[in-house]
Protein backbone atom coordinates (compact mmCIF):
# COMPACT_ATOMS: atom_id res chain seq x y z
CA UNK A 1 0.00 0.00 0.00
CA UNK A 2 1.23 3.50 -0.84
CA UNK A 3 -0.03 7.06 -0.54
CA UNK A 4 -1.41 8.18 -3.91
CA UNK A 5 -3.42 11.35 -4.51
CA UNK A 6 -4.36 11.57 -0.84
CA UNK A 7 -5.49 7.93 -0.68
CA UNK A 8 -3.92 4.70 0.52
CA UNK A 9 -3.71 2.65 -2.68
CA UNK A 10 -2.56 -0.92 -3.43
CA UNK A 11 0.49 -1.19 -5.68
CA UNK A 12 -0.12 -4.93 -5.96
CA UNK A 13 -2.09 -7.77 -4.41
CA UNK A 14 -0.48 -11.08 -3.28
CA UNK A 15 -0.24 -12.63 -6.78
CA UNK A 16 1.89 -9.73 -8.01
CA UNK A 17 1.94 -7.23 -10.86
CA UNK A 18 2.71 -9.63 -13.71
CA UNK A 19 -0.05 -12.07 -12.73
CA UNK A 20 -2.53 -9.20 -12.38
CA UNK A 21 -1.49 -7.75 -15.73
CA UNK A 22 -1.96 -11.07 -17.52
CA UNK A 23 -5.39 -11.68 -15.98
CA UNK A 24 -6.62 -8.55 -17.75
CA UNK A 25 -4.63 -8.95 -20.96
CA UNK A 26 -5.09 -12.69 -21.54
CA UNK A 27 -8.85 -13.02 -21.53
CA UNK A 28 -9.83 -12.83 -17.87
CA UNK A 29 -11.27 -10.02 -15.77
CA UNK A 30 -9.70 -7.62 -13.28
CA UNK A 31 -11.17 -4.97 -11.00
CA UNK A 32 -9.46 -1.63 -10.37
CA UNK A 33 -10.65 0.51 -7.48
CA UNK A 34 -10.12 4.00 -8.90
CA UNK A 35 -12.44 5.82 -6.51
CA UNK A 36 -9.62 8.31 -5.91
CA UNK A 37 -10.44 10.01 -9.23
CA UNK A 38 -12.22 13.35 -9.10
CA UNK A 39 -15.74 14.04 -10.40
CA UNK A 40 -17.09 17.55 -11.06
CA UNK A 41 -20.73 18.22 -11.95
CA UNK A 42 -21.25 21.12 -14.40
CA UNK A 43 -24.73 22.55 -15.05
CA UNK A 44 -26.29 25.76 -16.32
CA UNK A 45 -27.01 27.72 -19.51
CA UNK A 46 -23.28 28.29 -20.16
CA UNK A 47 -22.15 24.74 -19.33
CA UNK A 48 -21.09 23.99 -22.91
CA UNK A 49 -19.45 27.39 -23.46
CA UNK A 50 -17.54 27.01 -20.18
CA UNK A 51 -16.20 23.54 -21.05
CA UNK A 52 -15.31 24.67 -24.57
CA UNK A 53 -13.26 27.51 -23.09
CA UNK A 54 -11.30 25.43 -20.58
CA UNK A 55 -10.60 22.34 -22.75
CA UNK A 56 -8.94 21.69 -26.12
CA UNK A 57 -11.39 19.17 -27.61
CA UNK A 58 -14.72 20.13 -29.16
CA UNK A 59 -17.29 19.37 -26.47
CA UNK A 60 -20.11 20.40 -28.82
CA UNK A 61 -19.59 17.19 -30.80
CA UNK A 62 -20.74 14.92 -27.98
CA UNK A 63 -24.40 14.22 -27.25
CA UNK A 64 -26.36 12.84 -24.32
CA UNK A 65 -25.00 9.44 -23.28
CA UNK A 66 -21.55 10.04 -24.78
CA UNK A 67 -18.15 10.61 -23.22
CA UNK A 68 -15.10 12.40 -24.61
CA UNK A 69 -11.38 12.30 -23.84
CA UNK A 70 -10.08 15.84 -23.40
CA UNK A 71 -7.34 17.99 -21.89
CA UNK A 72 -7.32 21.21 -19.89
CA UNK A 73 -4.66 23.75 -20.91
CA UNK A 74 -3.14 26.84 -19.38
CA UNK A 75 -3.17 29.98 -21.58
CA UNK A 76 0.36 29.04 -22.75
CA UNK A 77 -0.95 25.72 -24.10
CA UNK A 78 0.60 23.45 -21.47
CA UNK A 79 -1.59 20.79 -19.83
CA UNK A 80 -3.15 21.22 -16.39
CA UNK A 81 -4.75 17.78 -16.61
CA UNK A 82 -6.34 15.29 -18.97
CA UNK A 83 -9.94 14.33 -18.27
CA UNK A 84 -13.08 12.64 -19.56
CA UNK A 85 -16.24 14.67 -20.06
CA UNK A 86 -19.64 12.97 -19.87
CA UNK A 87 -22.78 14.62 -21.27
CA UNK A 88 -25.99 13.72 -19.41
CA UNK A 89 -28.22 16.19 -21.28
CA UNK A 90 -27.95 19.71 -22.69
CA UNK A 91 -26.49 22.02 -20.01
CA UNK A 92 -25.46 19.09 -17.78
CA UNK A 93 -22.02 17.44 -17.85
CA UNK A 94 -19.62 15.56 -15.57
CA UNK A 95 -15.85 16.00 -15.74
CA UNK A 96 -13.68 13.15 -14.42
CA UNK A 97 -10.17 14.28 -13.48
CA UNK A 98 -7.03 12.72 -12.05
CA UNK A 99 -6.70 12.19 -8.30
CA UNK A 100 -3.39 13.99 -7.76
CA UNK A 101 -4.62 17.07 -9.63
CA UNK A 102 -8.19 17.20 -8.25
CA UNK A 103 -7.59 20.15 -5.84
CA UNK A 104 -5.76 22.16 -8.51
CA UNK A 105 -8.36 21.27 -11.15
CA UNK A 106 -11.21 22.30 -8.86
CA UNK A 107 -9.52 25.64 -8.19
CA UNK A 108 -9.08 26.17 -11.96
CA UNK A 109 -12.69 25.20 -12.70
CA UNK A 110 -13.95 27.52 -9.97
CA UNK A 111 -11.84 30.48 -11.12
CA UNK A 112 -12.77 30.16 -14.80
CA UNK A 113 -16.46 29.63 -14.00
CA UNK A 114 -16.72 33.19 -12.65
CA UNK A 115 -17.20 34.44 -16.21
CA UNK A 116 -19.95 31.94 -17.08
CA UNK A 117 -23.49 31.20 -15.97
CA UNK A 118 -22.71 27.74 -14.60
CA UNK A 119 -23.07 25.85 -11.35
CA UNK A 120 -20.25 23.57 -10.25
CA UNK A 121 -20.38 20.77 -7.69
CA UNK A 122 -17.42 18.70 -6.53
CA UNK A 123 -18.74 15.15 -6.13
CA UNK A 124 -15.31 13.53 -5.73
CA UNK A 125 -15.69 12.53 -2.08
CA UNK A 126 -19.08 10.91 -2.51
CA UNK A 127 -18.43 8.99 -5.73
CA UNK A 128 -17.01 5.46 -5.92
CA UNK A 129 -15.49 4.31 -9.22
CA UNK A 130 -14.58 0.76 -10.20
CA UNK A 131 -13.05 -0.21 -13.55
CA UNK A 132 -13.84 -3.78 -14.58
CA UNK A 133 -11.52 -4.70 -17.45
CA UNK A 134 -10.76 -7.74 -19.61
CA UNK A 135 -12.46 -10.10 -22.04
CA UNK A 136 -14.78 -11.47 -19.34
CA UNK A 137 -15.75 -8.09 -17.90
CA UNK A 138 -19.10 -7.98 -19.68
CA UNK A 139 -19.87 -11.63 -18.85
CA UNK A 140 -19.18 -10.85 -15.19
CA UNK A 141 -21.28 -7.69 -14.92
CA UNK A 142 -24.15 -8.86 -17.12
CA UNK A 143 -25.17 -11.29 -14.35
CA UNK A 144 -25.86 -8.30 -12.10
CA UNK A 145 -27.84 -5.95 -14.35
CA UNK A 146 -30.65 -5.83 -16.90
CA UNK A 147 -28.77 -3.20 -18.92
CA UNK A 148 -27.55 -4.73 -22.20
CA UNK A 149 -23.89 -3.93 -21.69
CA UNK A 150 -22.71 -4.98 -25.14
CA UNK A 151 -25.17 -2.49 -26.61
CA UNK A 152 -23.26 0.40 -25.03
CA UNK A 153 -20.92 1.79 -27.72
CA UNK A 154 -17.30 2.62 -26.90
CA UNK A 155 -17.04 5.92 -25.01
CA UNK A 156 -20.74 5.90 -24.22
CA UNK A 157 -22.63 5.36 -20.97
CA UNK A 158 -26.05 4.68 -19.49
CA UNK A 159 -27.70 5.10 -16.11
CA UNK A 160 -28.94 1.83 -14.69
CA UNK A 161 -28.98 -0.59 -11.78
CA UNK A 162 -26.24 -3.13 -11.06
CA UNK A 163 -26.26 -5.30 -7.93
CA UNK A 164 -29.46 -3.40 -7.01
CA UNK A 165 -27.51 -0.11 -6.87
CA UNK A 166 -28.23 2.89 -9.11
CA UNK A 167 -25.14 3.90 -11.03
CA UNK A 168 -23.53 5.11 -14.25
CA UNK A 169 -22.19 2.31 -16.46
CA UNK A 170 -19.57 3.60 -18.87
CA UNK A 171 -17.84 1.74 -21.72
CA UNK A 172 -14.44 3.20 -20.96
CA UNK A 173 -11.15 2.16 -19.39
CA UNK A 174 -7.39 2.62 -19.26
CA UNK A 175 -6.15 -0.78 -20.40
CA UNK A 176 -7.13 -1.06 -24.08
CA UNK A 177 -9.20 -4.13 -23.26
CA UNK A 178 -12.96 -4.59 -23.18
CA UNK A 179 -14.26 -2.93 -20.05
CA UNK A 180 -16.88 -1.05 -18.09
CA UNK A 181 -16.36 1.68 -15.51
CA UNK A 182 -19.07 2.17 -12.91
CA UNK A 183 -19.81 5.30 -10.85
CA UNK A 184 -21.98 5.00 -7.75
CA UNK A 185 -22.41 6.13 -4.15
CA UNK A 186 -19.22 6.02 -2.09
CA UNK A 187 -21.17 4.99 1.01
CA UNK A 188 -19.01 2.26 2.57
CA UNK A 189 -21.81 -0.30 2.86
CA UNK A 190 -22.93 0.31 -0.73
CA UNK A 191 -19.39 0.10 -2.09
CA UNK A 192 -18.71 -3.15 -0.21
CA UNK A 193 -21.94 -4.65 -1.50
CA UNK A 194 -21.08 -3.80 -5.12
CA UNK A 195 -17.48 -5.05 -4.79
CA UNK A 196 -18.60 -8.38 -3.27
CA UNK A 197 -21.32 -8.88 -5.89
CA UNK A 198 -18.85 -8.34 -8.73
CA UNK A 199 -16.31 -10.77 -7.27
CA UNK A 200 -18.96 -13.43 -6.72
CA UNK A 201 -20.16 -13.02 -10.32
CA UNK A 202 -16.62 -13.19 -11.68
CA UNK A 203 -15.45 -16.18 -9.65
CA UNK A 204 -15.95 -18.58 -12.56
CA UNK A 205 -13.71 -16.37 -14.74
CA UNK A 206 -10.85 -16.15 -12.25
CA UNK A 207 -11.55 -12.53 -11.35
CA UNK A 208 -8.74 -10.66 -9.56
CA UNK A 209 -8.28 -7.25 -7.92
CA UNK A 210 -5.69 -5.16 -9.76
CA UNK A 211 -3.32 -2.62 -8.19
CA UNK A 212 -1.51 0.49 -9.38
CA UNK A 213 1.49 -1.47 -10.68
CA UNK A 214 -0.44 -3.47 -13.26
CA UNK A 215 -2.60 -0.45 -14.08
CA UNK A 216 0.61 1.30 -15.09
CA UNK A 217 2.05 -1.55 -17.18
CA UNK A 218 -1.29 -2.11 -18.92
CA UNK A 219 -1.65 1.56 -19.92
CA UNK A 220 2.02 1.75 -20.94
CA UNK A 221 1.66 -1.20 -23.33
CA UNK A 222 -1.10 0.81 -25.04
CA UNK A 223 0.95 4.01 -25.08
CA UNK A 224 -1.61 5.90 -22.98
CA UNK A 225 -0.31 9.07 -21.31
CA UNK A 226 -0.09 9.32 -17.54
CA UNK A 227 -0.48 12.80 -16.09
CA UNK A 228 2.57 13.81 -14.10
CA UNK A 229 4.80 11.57 -16.20
CA UNK A 230 4.11 11.94 -19.92
CA UNK A 231 2.05 15.13 -19.79
CA UNK A 232 2.15 18.00 -17.30
CA UNK A 233 2.36 21.78 -17.09
CA UNK A 234 5.56 21.80 -19.19
CA UNK A 235 4.09 19.90 -22.16
CA UNK A 236 1.45 20.83 -24.73
CA UNK A 237 -1.07 18.41 -26.25
CA UNK A 238 0.54 18.90 -29.67
CA UNK A 239 3.94 17.78 -28.35
CA UNK A 240 2.33 14.85 -26.52
CA UNK A 241 0.75 13.38 -29.66
CA UNK A 242 -2.69 14.59 -28.62
CA UNK A 243 -3.25 16.68 -31.73
CA UNK A 244 -6.26 14.46 -32.44
CA UNK A 245 -8.10 15.99 -29.47
CA UNK A 246 -6.78 19.53 -30.02
CA UNK A 247 -9.41 21.37 -32.05
CA UNK A 248 -8.03 24.79 -32.94
CA UNK A 249 -10.96 25.83 -35.14
CA UNK A 250 -13.94 25.00 -32.95
CA UNK A 251 -16.73 27.57 -32.82
CA UNK A 252 -15.92 28.50 -29.22
CA UNK A 253 -12.12 28.67 -28.90
CA UNK A 254 -10.34 27.45 -25.78
CA UNK A 255 -8.22 29.53 -23.45
CA UNK A 256 -5.00 28.36 -25.17
CA UNK A 257 -6.01 28.62 -28.82
CA UNK A 258 -3.53 31.41 -29.68
CA UNK A 259 -0.58 29.68 -28.05
CA UNK A 260 -1.37 26.32 -29.64
CA UNK A 261 -1.89 27.83 -33.09
CA UNK A 262 1.43 29.63 -32.79
CA UNK A 263 3.21 26.42 -31.77
CA UNK A 264 1.66 24.51 -34.65
CA UNK A 265 2.58 27.20 -37.18
CA UNK A 266 6.15 27.46 -35.89
CA UNK A 267 6.57 23.69 -35.96
CA UNK A 268 7.10 21.35 -33.03
CA UNK A 269 10.60 21.19 -31.61
CA UNK A 270 10.00 17.93 -29.75
CA UNK A 271 7.53 15.05 -29.69
CA UNK A 272 6.51 12.28 -27.34
CA UNK A 273 7.46 8.91 -28.86
CA UNK A 274 7.31 5.28 -27.91
CA UNK A 275 10.42 3.12 -27.98
CA UNK A 276 11.52 -0.48 -27.50
CA UNK A 277 14.87 -1.68 -26.11
CA UNK A 278 15.99 -5.12 -27.27
CA UNK A 279 19.04 -5.39 -25.01
CA UNK A 280 18.41 -7.85 -22.18
CA UNK A 281 18.51 -6.39 -18.71
CA UNK A 282 18.32 -2.78 -19.91
CA UNK A 283 15.20 -1.05 -18.57
CA UNK A 284 14.26 2.58 -19.18
CA UNK A 285 12.70 4.35 -16.20
CA UNK A 286 11.02 7.69 -15.68
CA UNK A 287 13.66 10.43 -15.70
CA UNK A 288 16.37 8.49 -17.53
CA UNK A 289 18.19 10.68 -20.08
CA UNK A 290 17.79 10.09 -23.81
CA UNK A 291 21.18 10.86 -25.41
CA UNK A 292 22.84 11.06 -28.80
CA UNK A 293 25.93 9.16 -29.91
CA UNK A 294 28.12 11.89 -28.36
CA UNK A 295 26.50 11.33 -24.97
CA UNK A 296 24.67 14.66 -25.01
CA UNK A 297 21.18 14.63 -23.53
CA UNK A 298 18.51 15.25 -26.16
CA UNK A 299 15.42 14.19 -24.22
CA UNK A 300 14.03 12.35 -21.23
CA UNK A 301 12.17 9.12 -20.57
CA UNK A 302 8.71 9.91 -19.15
CA UNK A 303 7.50 6.31 -18.64
CA UNK A 304 9.32 3.01 -18.87
CA UNK A 305 9.08 -0.60 -17.77
CA UNK A 306 9.25 -4.20 -18.93
CA UNK A 307 6.22 -5.25 -20.94
CA UNK A 308 4.81 -8.37 -19.22
CA UNK A 309 3.47 -9.55 -22.58
CA UNK A 310 6.61 -9.17 -24.72
CA UNK A 311 9.28 -9.31 -21.97
CA UNK A 312 10.94 -6.33 -23.69
CA UNK A 313 11.72 -2.94 -22.19
CA UNK A 314 9.29 -0.33 -23.51
CA UNK A 315 8.83 3.33 -22.80
CA UNK A 316 7.72 6.82 -23.76
CA UNK A 317 9.83 9.94 -23.95
CA UNK A 318 10.32 13.32 -25.57
CA UNK A 319 12.86 13.64 -28.37
CA UNK A 320 13.67 16.32 -30.96
CA UNK A 321 11.14 16.21 -33.81
CA UNK A 322 13.81 15.12 -36.30
CA UNK A 323 14.35 11.94 -34.24
CA UNK A 324 10.66 11.11 -33.79
CA UNK A 325 10.15 9.05 -36.95
CA UNK A 326 9.29 5.39 -36.39
CA UNK A 327 12.35 3.17 -36.77
CA UNK A 328 14.81 5.86 -35.63
CA UNK A 329 17.55 4.63 -33.31
CA UNK A 330 18.06 6.52 -30.04
CA UNK A 331 20.11 5.85 -26.92
CA UNK A 332 18.77 5.58 -23.36
CA UNK A 333 21.10 6.08 -20.40
CA UNK A 334 19.72 3.23 -18.29
CA UNK A 335 22.32 3.85 -15.59
CA UNK A 336 25.37 6.09 -15.16
CA UNK A 337 27.76 5.37 -18.03
CA UNK A 338 25.53 2.64 -19.50
CA UNK A 339 23.62 3.38 -22.69
CA UNK A 340 21.19 1.04 -24.41
CA UNK A 341 19.97 1.28 -27.98
CA UNK A 342 16.26 1.84 -28.47
CA UNK A 343 14.08 1.98 -31.55
CA UNK A 344 11.32 4.57 -31.88
CA UNK A 345 8.12 2.52 -32.12
CA UNK A 346 4.56 3.71 -32.50
CA UNK A 347 2.30 2.38 -29.69
CA UNK A 348 0.44 0.26 -28.88
CA UNK A 349 3.32 -2.06 -28.07
CA UNK A 350 0.86 -4.93 -27.51
CA UNK A 351 -2.43 -5.47 -29.33
CA UNK A 352 -5.34 -5.70 -26.89
CA UNK A 353 -6.99 -9.09 -26.54
CA UNK A 354 -10.49 -7.62 -26.80
CA UNK A 355 -10.45 -4.05 -28.12
CA UNK A 356 -12.43 -1.46 -26.29
231 part of a folded domain: no
Using the 3D structure, point to which of 219, 250, 284 is the last residue of a domain.
219
Q: Which of 104, 137, 294 is nearest to 205 (CA)?
A: 137
Report the distance separating Cα 169 and Cα 151, nearest Å. Answer: 12
Kindly give the parts of the chain with pLDDT less than 70: 355-356
- State whether 205 and 286 are in the same domain: no
Q: Which DSSP category does 216 fall into?
A: H
Asked whether residue 201 falls in the same domain as residue 301, the answer is no
Listed as own residue / partner, the contacts of 300-304 with beta carbons closer than 8 Å and 24 or more positions apart are: 301/332, 302/229, 302/230, 302/272, 303/216, 303/220, 303/226, 303/229, 303/230, 304/220, 304/332
In a domain, 236, yes or no: no
Residue 146 counted as domain residue = yes
Q: Is there a contact between 223 and 275 (Cβ–Cβ < 8 Å)? A: no
Query: In 10 A of CB 106, how many CB atoms?
Result: 17
Asked whether residue 34 is assigned to any structural domain, the reply reads yes
The CATH number assigned to the domain holding 289 equals 2.40.30.110
CA angle 317, 322, 326 (to 5 degrees): 65
Query: Which residues lie closer than 8 Å to 145 by C-beta, 6 or more apart?
Result: 160, 161, 162, 163, 169
- In a shared domain, residues 337 and 275: yes
Domain housing 157? 2-219
* 239 within a domain of the structure (yes/no): no
Say how far apart CA 312 and CA 183 lie, in whole Å. Answer: 35
Q: Which of 219, 253, 285 is the last residue of a domain?
A: 219
For residues 137 and 196, state if they share a domain: yes
Cα dihedral value 94, 156, 161, 168, nearest 10: -20
Residues 310, 350: contact at Cβ < 8 Å?
yes
Report how far residue 161's alpha carbon sits from residue 165's, in angstroms, rounded to the nearest whole number. Answer: 5
Task: Tell me the C-alpha distance between 344 and 325, whole Å.
Answer: 7
Residue 74 sits in the same domain as residue 148: yes
Length of the chain counted residue by residue: 356
User: Is residue 263 assigned to a domain?
Assistant: no
Question: Has residue 355 been placed in a domain?
Answer: no
The partner residues of 290 in beta bridges, in order of sequence, read: 299, 332
Is residue 251, in this structure, part of any structural domain at all?
no
Does residue 25 sit in helix, strand or coil?
helix
What one-character-per-residue DSSP string does 168-186 give? EEE---SSSBSEEEEEEE-
Say whether both 317 and 193 belong to one domain.
Answer: no
172 and 64, same structural domain? yes
Q: Does 215 share its domain with 281?
A: no
Residues 285 and 211 in one domain: no
Q: Are residues 84 and 6 in the same domain?
A: yes
DSSP labels, 46-107: THHHHHHHH-SS-GGG--TTEEEEEEEE-TTS-EEEEEEEEEEETTEEEEEE-TTTHHHHHH
Question: Bridge-partner residues for 71, per DSSP?
Answer: 82
pTM of the model: 0.96
Task: Output the domain CATH number for residue 118.
Answer: 3.30.1360.120
Query: Which phi and psi (to 5°) does residue 170 adopt?
Result: -120, 130
How many alpha carbons fall within 13 Å on the CB side of residue 243? 10
DSSP three-state, residue 203: helix
| Count of domains for the chain | 2
- What's the rounded Cα separation, in Å, for the pair 282 and 285? 10
* 148, 24: one domain: yes
Beta bridge partners of 79: 73
Cα separation, 272 vs 176, in Å, equals 19
**DSSP-derived 3-state class of residue 139:** helix
Q: Per residue in 86-121, pLDDT tens?
A: 999 999 999 999 999 999 999 999 999 999 999 999
Residues 280 and 339 in one domain: yes
Amino acid sequence: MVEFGGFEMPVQYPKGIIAEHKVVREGGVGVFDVSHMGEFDVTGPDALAFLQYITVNDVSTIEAGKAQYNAMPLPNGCIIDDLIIYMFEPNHYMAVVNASTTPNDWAHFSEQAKNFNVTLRNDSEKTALLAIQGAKSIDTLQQLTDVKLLDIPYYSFVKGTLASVEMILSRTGYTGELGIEIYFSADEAVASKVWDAIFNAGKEFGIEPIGLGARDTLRLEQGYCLYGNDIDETTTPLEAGLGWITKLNKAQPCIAVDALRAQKEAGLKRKLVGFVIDEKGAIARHGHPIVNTSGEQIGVVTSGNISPMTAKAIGLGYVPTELSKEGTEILIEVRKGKQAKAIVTKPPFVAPHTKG
